[in-house]
Structure 1
């Protein structure tokens, strides 16, 4: 595994995260939309760094006792090295610290790597959101972990 460090995202990270967003998603958020989301008081966004390079990020909204994971992304060149696990572990810790007892997320039904990651941390499929994603159009699998 690459030697990585996970920390809270700061405004100075927005440009690098925006570039990473474009590498990871077919319909990326804009830099402005991303930072508007990440800077909200109920949100917690983290970055994973290899040295000074941002190679992953993850975000969650924590509302009451529930966390809604909005993003987990790892640079394609760094996948398969445990970075997604490190980000998810840190998100779960942040959710617990803020009083969340459960967490949910949506993922493309075809994303087997993400499914394996989330199942490793106790997430289970509870339903489908038809045609949730665009470019390409695809259903979302709704996952919950009721005991984070």
Structure 2
């Protein structure tokens, strides 16, 4: 992902996370840390950005910052491919564990993460702006 991708990325951000979307300034801040501690990617279909994902990595720990796929492209494998890329990048950077938070009211996303080896490790109460809890998940790497 580059700054040139931000208009498309921010449009996806707004429709995917209408209640707690990141601001463009927050996303620019993430990109400013690439490649030092961040890794962001986009997915294209017919030269159109339809999804994006990001990872934060430091020392032996990484965090999935975000994964967003336009609704018309969900269930096509794009989200899984992006998660696979983030996990590969975490491994390249020497991470031993990858963490994430997922909305408690999003069982589809929770199922995807479980399919990729993530386990529930706790709950962050009222984590999201609308008061929804976050399920914390972790996947160990390389053992």
Q: TM-score, normalised by structure 2?
A: 0.93
Structure 2 unaligned blocks of 5 or more: none
2:138 pairs with 124, 127, 144, which one?
144
**CA separation in 1, counterparts of 2:86 and 2:12?**
19
Q: Secondary structure of the equivalent of 2:126? A: strand
Question: Which aligned pairs between 1:1-148 and structure 2 lie closer than 5 A?
Answer: 9-25=1-17, 26-40=19-33, 41-135=36-130, 137-147=131-141
Question: Offset at 1:39?
Answer: 2.5
Aligned length: 139
Question: Offset at 1:109?
Answer: 0.9
Runs (4 or more) in structure 1 with deviation over 6 Å come to none
Q: Secondary structure of the equivalent of 2:27? A: helix
Question: Offset at 1:57?
Answer: 0.6
Structure 1 unaligned blocks of 5 or more: 1-8
Question: Offset at 1:132?
Answer: 0.3
Q: Is the 8 A contact 2:95 2:141 kept in 1?
A: no
